[in-house]
Amino acid sequence: MIKIMLAIAISALASGSLAAQTESRATNTNRSQNATPTVTAPQARTDSSSVYDSQALRFETSWGSADVIRGAKGEVLGTVGWFRHFDVEKLVQSSPQAASAAREFRVANFRGSLVSTIGASLVAIGIAVATNNSNNASTPVLIIAGAGGIGWGLQKINSSYGALSRALWWGNRDLGR
């Protein structure tokens, strides 16, 4: 009797697994056929997909700043960038790796903004001094140091966006799938 029950259970398990695979394939086919930016809720949409559609984060840049955007509808949650602060760390706090990358972003972005601003100020002072008194020996030093500061700062800001991308990637990975 137990053997019969086990046989039934194993066959049911196998058919269940096959059914799950078939459903998964059908879902993927549906996704690729019906995926539209407006996301009009295809019938075979899985839970994980709808969570991703409504919760997954990305960012879009705009002249030195970046909007953090959630979901397929593109809800803007906040803007980060040149001395613009938005708490990305809090947004992705449920994922430890995402929170760590968000911290890295915050630090690098602040340092980059600060140093590039100081660099730009030095260049401006250097140019102003050069226009008023062209024989001043400090002008080339100011301009070169300023340009170096701008370069380092921009590089830092650039790498901070890499960290932001990583933070959102981890955050999207650890969404309730």
Partner 1 sequence: MRYRLHLTLILLAMASIPSRAAAQLDTSSYDANALRLESHFGDIRIIRGISGPVVASVGTFHKVELAKIVGTSENAAREAREFERNQRPGAIAALIGGIIVGTSIALSSRNDPTWGLVSAELVGVSLVFYGGVRLNRAYNALSRSLWWYNRDLKR
- Rule CB under 8 A: which residues touch partner 1? 1-2, 5-6, 9, 12-13, 16-17, 20, 24, 28, 31-33, 35-37, 46, 48-49, 52-53, 56, 58-63, 72, 155, 158-159, 161-162, 165-166, 169, 172-173, 177
Query: What's the CA gap between 162 and 52, in Å, rounded?
Result: 21
Contact, 39 vs 52, CB < 8 A? no
Q: How many helices (H) and strands (E) does the chain have?
A: 5, 3
Specify the residue, 28 or 133, whose C-beta has the smaller distance to partner 1. 28
Specify the residue, 79 or 155, whose C-beta has the smaller distance to partner 1. 155
Contact, 68 vs 167, CB < 8 A? no
Report in angstroms how near the CB of residue 38 gets to partner 1 at its nearest.
Answer: 10
Report in angstroms how near the CB of residue 148 gets to partner 1 at its nearest.
Answer: 15
Specify the residue, 34 or 121, whose C-beta has the smaller distance to partner 1. 34
Specify the residue, 101 or 122, whose C-beta has the smaller distance to partner 1. 101
- Kindly report the length of the chain: 177
Cβ atoms within 10 Å, residue 108:
20
Structure tokens at 76: 């803007």
